[in-house]
Structure 1
Amino acid sequence: MPVEFIGIAATKAFGEIETSPGPTVQPDYLRAIALAHEESGFDRVLVAHSSASPDGFVVADQILTHTTRLGVLLAHRPGFVSPTLAARKFATLDAFHPGRVALHVITGGDDADQARDGDLSDKQTRYRRTDDFLQVVRKTWESAEPFDHTGEFYTVRGALSGVRPEKPIPVYFGGASDDAVRVGGRHADVYAFWGEPLAGIAERIRQVRAAAEPYGRSPGFSVSLRPIPAETEAAAWERAADILRLTRERVGELRREFNLDSSAQEGSRRLLGYAAQGDVHDKRLWTAVAKATGAAGNSTALVGSYEQVAESLLDYTALGVGTLLIRGFDALADARDYGRLVTLVREQTDRGALAGVAGA
């Protein structure tokens, strides 16, 4: 199967080393970053979510309207919109842009950020709610006749949507806790991991496959990484040092800007555990930025020449990872630059596939 590449979209410049003045929604920036990803050969861009984010459905529609091929991976937190309505919102977006919409389920690992939108439930409760939510969403997308549902959190009677996707909308799922694996194993079409060392990803793939097996499911897998490529390995490490310096200078500002606490997230704890063991793992997985930021989100990098970084990305695909979510530290410039990585990985994948056919 071809490797899927996902980038990240935003309505203004943001991140560890960059920020832009002005309003949160800057339409020209969103158009530019969407077009940059499309021109670089990405398949989708992630529309992320927090309690302070612009409305993701509007942002996703803007991206899809201003591009011709690029898809969106639209993050959604269960619990704030009823599952029947959420299902219709996704199906409506898909009706205008067929086959270009995917759902990224984010149950929420930060209690304080959940509370800012009025959700005071604990994480275990949220995962049970996500399980119930996704059962209703699937039924809404698939049922051609009215259906009833009685669950712990949602009860509907005679539900029937007038808009349903012609092809299934893929469900991506994130989370590193045991509860996340249990629920994601039941529902995920693609299970997403942050960028751990290869042995950690192999372990996590085994866990999710075991959780999915009782439901007869065989999910795909995604890994999120922050490539820092350059013409030479030495130049890449020089750039990495500059990124770390700027990140350390801005870390307090970042925490105020994003107002997120990753300390209770199992995924962050795992990244910090690897960072405590050393700054570099495998060939070139770099954890220093994760250590500097408290592993606030996707924060591990691959540092090296373009060819070296492509090789390391392929090491993940060799484990069974079919989706690579890569975003840079200078989001717009890196989205343009990553076209070279996308091409290198796809050329190697195509050569491997042809060799396999020839040897069959």
Structure 2
Amino acid sequence: MAIQILGMIWHREASEIISASSTFDKEFIKNIAQAHENSGFDRILVGYWSDQADGFLVTAHAAAHTSKINFLLAHRPGFVAPTLAARKLASLDHLTDGRLAVHIISGGSDVDQKKDGDFLNKQQRYERTNEFLDIVKQEWYSQTPFNYQGQYYQVENAFSELKPKQQHLPIYFGGSSDEALRVAAKHADVFALWGEPLAGAKEHLNKLNPLVHAEHRTLEYNISFRPIIAETEKLAWEKAQHIYQLSKQQLQQAGLQETRKKPQSVGGDRLLEAAKQGDVLDQNLWTGITSLVQGSYNSTALVGTPEQVAESIAAYYRLGIHSVLIRGFDPLQDAIEYGKELLPTIREKTNHIDQQIQKTS
């Protein structure tokens, strides 16, 4: 199967090394979406933050200025009723001409959840997510009214005349806790991992695959990295150190470095544990920014030439991870740069793996 390559967009130009110059920039949304489409990305993630722009609207604007690229909208259950969320997603799927998938995020931080008025603990959030997806899928696909009686949601005679434009709207899901894995096994089409070393990624697959088989389902995997590429390996590592210094300086200026605490999420814990093993793992997996931000998000980088980074991604493909999300520290320019050599090289190497498998099967 062909590898799926995802990018990420948001509503303004900002990153670890770029200070935000605005709170919302609709021209930037258009430009970065078009850059990803022109570079050959298959899909772009629109993230979720408790203090930033609404992802539904960002996605709709980006879709209006693109024609081919698919979208992955992050959504947190608990703030929109599942029947309404299902209709909103179905509506957006029609607006995007069937280019939508949804990434369900139960929420890894109590502090962040409380900003939007959610005071459930992590286990309760995953229980709620399970019920949320039960209802969403019935709202999408049921041809007759249905009832649902759960701990967190109850509906009577629920029915949506509006269905997604696609026959099946894909659900992405992430999380490393046991609760998360159970929900993923039941509901997800694609399970999203942060950029762990090869051994850690393989551990996830070995743990989740039996749960998926027990549900009589199949599951694809996605993994996220922050590639840092240059013409030579030496220049790439110099670039990585420059990014580290700029990121450290920006954190200090914003007064955020002292507020970084041990993450609540198991995924964040796993990234920090990996970082403790060394700054560079496997061939070129760099954990410098991971340590700096205390495992707060997908922050591990693959460093090297496009050939070296593509080879590292191909190693995960051999494990059975057939989708990768890559985003840079200079989001717009890196998306353009990745399209020149990195994306074609990734596809060349993974296609070669598929051909080898076909010859031996």
TM-score w.r.t. the length of structure 1 is: 0.96
Deviation at 1:10, TM superposition (A): 1.1
Instruction: Provide the rounded CA distance (Å) in 2 between the counterparts of 1:6 and 1:123.
Output: 28
Matched with 1:46 is: 45
Q: For the Cα contact (< 8 Å) 2:103–2:172, is it kept in 1?
A: yes
Contact 1:16 1:254 survives alignment (8 Å)? no
Shift of 1:109: 0.8
| 1:83-232 → structure 2 map (5 Å cutoff) | 83-165=82-164, 166-232=166-232
Query: Cα 1:110–1:242, aligned 2, differ >3 Å: closer, same or farther?
Result: same
What is the CA distance between 1:176 and its match in structure 2?
1.3
Indicate conservation of the 8 Å contact 1:110/1:261, yes or no.
no
Give runs of aligned pairs for residues 1-360 of structure 1, distance below 5 A: 1-22=1-22, 24-165=23-164, 166-253=166-253, 256=256, 263-339=263-339, 340-357=341-358
Which deviations, in whole Å up to 9, do the C-alpha atoms of 1:98-122 show, x marking residues without a partner?
3310010000011111111111111
1:203 is paired with a residue whose SS is helix
The amino acid across from 1:161 in the alignment is S
Closer, same or farther in 2 for the Cα pair 1:261/1:135, shift >3 Å?
farther
Structure 1: how far apart are the matches of 2:96 and 2:144?
Answer: 25
Of 268-277 and 244-253, deviating more is 244-253
Superposition deviation, residue 255 in structure 1: 6.6
Shift of 1:341: 1.1
What is the letter of the counterpart of residue 160 of structure 2? S
CA contact (8 A) 1:190 1:220 kept: yes
- Displacement of 1:53 after TM fit? 1.7
Hey, what's the Cα distance between the residues in 1 that align with 2:77 and 2:253? 29
Q: How large is the RMSD of aligned CA atoms in angstroms? A: 1.6
CA shift at 1:210, angstroms? Answer: 2.0
- Which AA in structure 2 matches 1:346? R
Distance 1:111 1:148 in 2: 31
Q: Is the 8 A contact 2:285 2:303 kept in 1?
A: yes
Deviation for aligned residue 1:350 = 2.5
SS, match of residue 313 in structure 1: helix
Q: What is the SS of the residue equivalent to 1:278?
A: coil
Identical positions, percent? 44
CA distance in 2, matches of 1:68, 1:266: 37
**Alignment partner of 2:34: what SS?**
helix
Asked if 2 retains the 8 angstrom alpha-carbon contact of 1:147 and 1:157, the reply is: yes
In the alignment, the residues of structure 1 paired with residue 98 and residue 220 of structure 2 have an alpha-carbon distance, to the nearest angstrom, of: 18
Closer, same or farther in 2 for the Cα pair 1:293/1:219, shift >3 Å? same
Q: Does the aligned pair in 1 maintain the 2:19–2:250 contact within 8 Å?
A: no
Shift of 1:217: 1.4
Give the letter aligned to residue 30 of structure 2: R
Matched to 1:75, the amino acid is A
Q: Secondary structure at the match of 1:221?
A: strand
Q: 1:135 to 1:262 in 2, by over 3 A?
A: farther
Task: Letter of the 1:91 partner, please give it.
Answer: A
What CA deviation, in whole Å up to 9, does each residue of 1:24-70 have, x standing for no partner? 11011111110110011111111110111211110010111100111
1:149-205 deviations in Å (ceiling 9; x for gaps): 111111111111011124111000011111111111111100001000000000001
In 2, the alpha carbon distance for the partners of 1:140 and 1:147 equals 8
Could you tell me how far apart the structure 2 residues matched to 1:262 and 1:52 are? 21
* Contact kept in structure 1, 2:260 and 2:293, CA below 8 Å: no
Q: Distance in 2 between matches of 1:338 and 1:284?
A: 17
Contact 1:7/1:42 (CA < 8 Å) preserved in 2?
yes
In the alignment, structure 1 segments of 5+ residues that lack a partner are: none
Deviation (angstroms), 1:97 = 2.0
Residue 209 of structure 1 aligns to which amino acid in structure 2? N
| Deviations 1:74-130, CA, capped at 9 Å, x for gaps | 000000101111011111111122331001000001111111111111111100000
Separation of aligned partners in 2, 1:277 and 1:349: 28
If the length of structure 2 is used for normalisation, what is the TM-score?
Answer: 0.96
Q: C-alpha separation between the residues in 2 aligned to 1:17 and 1:239? A: 12
- Structure 1 residue identity aligned to 2:98: G
Contact kept in structure 2, 1:262 and 1:297, CA below 8 Å: no
Work out whether residues 110 and 260 of structure 1, in 8 Å CA contact, stay in contact via their aligned partners in 2.
no
